Amino acid sequence: MSISFYNFNDLHHNEFKKNIMNRFQEILDESSFVEGKYNSSFESKFAKMQNAKYCALVANGTDALEISLIVSGVKPGDKVGVPGITFYATAEAVLNIGATPVFIDIDPTTGLICPESLSRTIKSHDLKAVMPVHIFGLPAPIKEIEKICNPKNISIIEDAAQAQGTFVDGKPVGSTNNLTTFSFYPTKNLSAFGDAGCILTQNEDQFELIKCIRNHGRGKEFMMGRNSRCDHMQAAVLDLKLDEIDKLNKQRKAVAQKYYNALKELPVKLLGKQFIETSSWHLYPVQFENSALRIKAAEAFKAQNIGSAPFYERALSQEPSLSQYEGEDKNAKELAGRSLCLPIHPFISDEDIQKIANTLKSVF
Ligand SMILES: *Cc1c(COP(=O)(O)O)cnc(C)c1O
């Protein structure tokens, strides 16, 4: 029996299929294709769920980051801090609006942005904003980052693309006064049938500006915006999935706890083991002593038809398209290539965990 990295068949079970087809029929009958009633329904439910005042759906997670940077007043040529290791889109968003990324190093035991590195970096770089990423679903140290950034008026944009279900300092991600962005790409914890994303804010002026920018800057007059509207069909999917998301995230957490018990004796570091209760467990990263062992483990999984994924193989500065940018990333480079993510969708069985643990043991 193979164990896949993602499982869409169980996620989109028959009852869900029936309900979503009804909604699609309704949308077709109404011809309400963009920004319909499920957009507003989702926005108000999701804001409430994440403890934010306002939620604005947009077309994808990268747009959510770019629009948040614009709303924060980041201008072309400004510098923006990004973690040394994250998904490429975090840095891409900075470059897409004409700003310059500056790398902030990470904590090697979690992969999360390191406040000490941020403190050092702002001495030599005049940052306009910083983008902590709740990487793998683990909560970034937002309170410490706020202590560093608030006195200097450095905006904070939390990239929560992997963190629907994460608790930061005891509260759902999105509860802070920072702009918080999500991606609802199909592989994320909360997922559309294609691309979608959103931005959470506590600030009404920011909310109005986001709504204006996502719709071509349409107001009394037009200002420079873009098309980043969310389709009604995607909103209908997201709105329906909210009914089940807490249950599914609990199932991920239970899998993480079982992995911990099954793997704790092995010579690997379990990144984020202290966050069993507070991570969304979007990914389950295991850190090996060296990249040769990581490759050996990936091969062993492949031979057993077990999905695994090498997030992340390179630090951002090791991407040729980003190698010219400055900052600190020694730990990020150290971590890159040594971590491998195990399957952690909500439908991993105890048998699967046993098989995965046995396969990993066979590597040593
Ligand atoms: C997925 C992801 C994004 C980008 O989201 P898209 O919806 O693909 O644009 C940004 N940041 C992180 C950390 C992600 O995981």
C-beta of 87 in contact with ligand 1 (< 6 A): yes
Which ligand 1 atom is at minimum distance from the Cα of 133? Answer: 13
Instruction: Report how far residue 298's alpha carbon sits from residue 307's, in angstroms, rounded to the nearest whole number.
Output: 9
pLDDT of residue 24: 98
The alpha carbon of 330 and the centre of ligand 1 are apart by a number of angstroms equal to 23
Report how many helices (DSSP H) and strands (DSSP E) the chain contains, helices first: 12, 12
What are the pLDDT digits (tens) for 25-59?
999 999 999 999 999 999 999 999 999 999 999 99
* pLDDT tier at 273, thresholds 50, 70, 90: confident
3-class DSSP assignment, residue 83: strand
Q: Is 162 in the pocket of ligand 1 (CB under 6 A)?
A: yes
- Mean per-residue pLDDT for 296-316? 97
Supply the residue whose CA is at minimum distance from atom 10 of ligand 1. 89
Residue 1 has pLDDT above 90, yes or no: no
DSSP-assigned letters across all residues of 24-41: HHHHHHHT--BS-HHHHH
Query: Does any ligand 1 atom lie closer than 6 A to the CB of residue 161?
Result: yes
The reply to whether the predicted model has a pTM over 0.75 is: yes
**Ligand 1 pocket, residue 133 CB under 6 Å:** yes
How much is the pLDDT for 56?
A: 98
Average pLDDT, the chain: 97
Share of the chain above pLDDT 70, in %: 100
Span 214-226, pLDDT tens digits = 999 999 999 999 9
Atom 6, ligand 1: which residue's CA is nearest? 61
Phi, psi of 104 (to 5 degrees): -110, 135
- pLDDT, residue 272, reads 87
Residue 282 CA: which ligand 1 atom is closest?
A: 15
CB-based contacts of 207, cutoff 8 Å, min separation 6: 53, 54, 56, 201
pLDDT tens column, 119-161? 999 999 999 999 999 999 999 999 999 999 999 999 999 999 9
β-pair partners for 54? 201
